[in-house]
Amino acid sequence: MTLPPPVPPERRVWCNRTLNLRAIRAVGYDMDYTLVHYRTREWERAAFEQALGPLARRGWPVGSLVFDPASVIQGLAFDLERGNLVKATRFGYVIRAHHGTRPLTFDELRASYASTFVDLHDPRWQFMNTLFSLSEANLFAQLVDLLDAGKLPETLGYRDLHRVLGMALDEAHNLSELKARIMADPDRFVELDPDLPLTLLDQKTAGKKLLLITNSDWGYTRAMMSYAFDRYLSAGTTWRELFDLVIVESRKPAFFSGRQAVYRVTDEEAGLLRPARGPLEHGHVYVGGDAQLVESSLGLSGAEILYLGDHLFGDVHVSKEMLRWRTGLILREIESEIIAMEKARGIDAELRELMAQKTTIDARLAHLRLVRQRAQHRYGPAPAAGADNLEASIRSVNEESQELDSRISPLAKASGEMGNPTWGPLMRAGNDKSLFARQVERYADIYTSRVSNFLAQTPFAYLRAARGSLPHDDTGRYEP
């Protein structure tokens, strides 16, 4: 018996908190960007264009706005006070910012954020939780430019601007037009994953209950799930047989935090509804309901349910915080980022080596300066060398340090641009973890680029958390 070939790094399941899949009795799935992956550029471009309609009807001159998908990444925050998009470290320190579409200079950044940190509890900040926020961020930046140029026919602050934009996007998302466009041409919008149905079939056969919990409506859910799954299942079987419960229009995050009315879909073809009372019955489709009803209907507690979704707040944060469900974040962009990281391993190793040299040289320089200070002020132990020698040593070590800087700086720049030339990697901010990474480690027990990565893991895997790293783990580094 041979084991399957090793999984490439970008397709692995990463673990913040140890998770034994054998102890999981039910796996809940979000649909959009989780079970059904959209080609982000196509989907977000369509949403962007659709939102221009309501804005144009307000008399806003949005005809020339163009979707630029490379200009933003998930995990940034809107600063509604200043009209900026910012990237922050795990502690909330802003390391990069754009005002509208223009990057802030180093001095502007310092003037704006030296005494401010991003606190997501403060309504000043709006966090970009999901891929759906790419069109929003892109529109916001371009609208800030229009507002600053005095081209909008209303007097608005940046906060009002964001609110109007939110309404336009909601209208676009709710409009059956956008969904109709996608349902009419799914080949253009949906990226199929042939490994997905077998992944779920393995879990189901291993005795796990499978749940679909989506905010999308029944008509759209049915069309998308059927498109993504049915072609890979054996004849006569559809995606419906994979799931023990299907819940549409779930209104997450409210689904996880409160009680909601529930309706049963009595005619799946026509989408007819009837009010229902619990418990939810196997094999049916429901509209609404809530997570507590799911738990009681299945007779399971939070720790026995794993919920997988792409929305850091609506899927993962709330389910973890309110109900202690086990959580997994589906993060497709991590794939290209890990591939880029693997390619840049040489650069990273060189950078680490140069930084180690720099640490040693800086320590020598600091020591020499202290010796000079003591000699000048005539206190402490007498210096071993004469004053001339000391000055020469300081100059030479200083030159060495500057020479190292000139080698480090292009490498650090290349490392900081990984993933996205403007904003850099999703999970890192400079040398630190990003604010996004902090949210992921806090709320997602595991994260991975796509659901089908569980195929190689099997339903029986024991996923172990990596040993956390602390500054004092690396005790060799600071020795002069």
Q: How far is the CB of 253 from Mg ion (least distance, A)?
A: 12
The window from 25-33, 156-164, 381-389, 443-451 that contacts Mg ion (CB under 5 A) reads 25-33
**Amino acid at site 446:** I
Count of helix runs (H) and strand runs (E) in the chain:
16, 21
Q: Of the two residues 33 and 256, which places its CB atom closer to Mg ion in the complex?
A: 33
Q: Which of residues 359-418 bind Mg ion (CB under 5 A)?
A: none
| Whole-angstrom distance, CA of residue 74 vs CA of residue 435 | 11
Query: Which of the residues 30, 79, 310, 315 is marked catalytic?
Result: 30
- Establish whether 445 is a catalytic residue: no
Could you give the C-alpha distances from 437 to 30, 128, 315, 325, in angstroms and in order?
Answer: 21, 13, 16, 20
| Rounded CA separation 46/359 (Å) | 50
Residues with Cβ within 8 Å of 190's Cβ and at least 6 positions away in sequence, in order, are 36, 37, 38, 39, 182, 224, 227, 228
132 lies in the binding site for Mg ion (CB under 5 A): no
Residue (30 or 445) nearer to Mg ion, CB:
30
The residue (of 219 and 430) whose beta carbon lies closer to Mg ion is 219
Q: Nearer Cβ to Mg ion, position 14 or 29?
A: 29
* Strand ranges inside 33-176, DSSP E: 37-38, 77-79, 84-88, 94-99, 102-103, 125-127
Angle, vertex CA 335, rays to CA 43 and CA 197, nearest 5: 70
Part in contact with Mg ion (CB under 5 A); list of ranges 27-35, 239-247, 424-432, 470-478: 27-35
Question: Does residue 32 belong to the site contacting Mg ion (CB under 5 A)?
Answer: yes
Active-site residue (options: 32, 193, 290, 445): 32
CB of 91 to Mg ion, least distance (A): 28
Catalytic annotation present for 32? yes
Residue 256 identity: F
Q: Which is nearer to Mg ion, 244 or 310 (CB)?
A: 310
Task: Spell 40-69 as b/e; 16+ CB within 10 A means b.
Answer: bebbbbbbbbbbbebbeeeebebeebebee
Judged by beta carbon, residue 33 or residue 229, the one nearer Mg ion is 33
Cβ atoms 117, 94 nearer than 8 A: yes
The residue whose Cβ lies closest to Mg ion is 32
Number of residues in contact with Mg ion under rule CB under 5 A: 4
Site string for Mg ion, 296-335 (x = CB under 5 A): --------------x-------------------------
What does the per-residue mask of binding to Mg ion show for 52-91, with x meaning CB under 5 A?
Answer: ----------------------------------------
* Rounded Cα–Cα distance for residues 129 and 314 (Å): 9
Binding residue (CB under 5 A) for Mg ion from 13, 14, 16, 33: 33
The span of 23-31, 172-180, 197-205, 265-273 binding Mg ion (CB under 5 A) equals: 23-31
One of 30, 244, 333, 445 touching Mg ion (CB under 5 A) = 30
**Whole-angstrom Cα distance, residue 361 to residue 43?**
51
Contact 361, 479 (CB under 8 A): no
Give the three-state DSSP class for 437.
helix
Q: What amino acid positions are annotated as catalytic residues?
A: 30, 32
Given the rule CB under 5 A, which residues bind Mg ion?
30, 32-33, 310
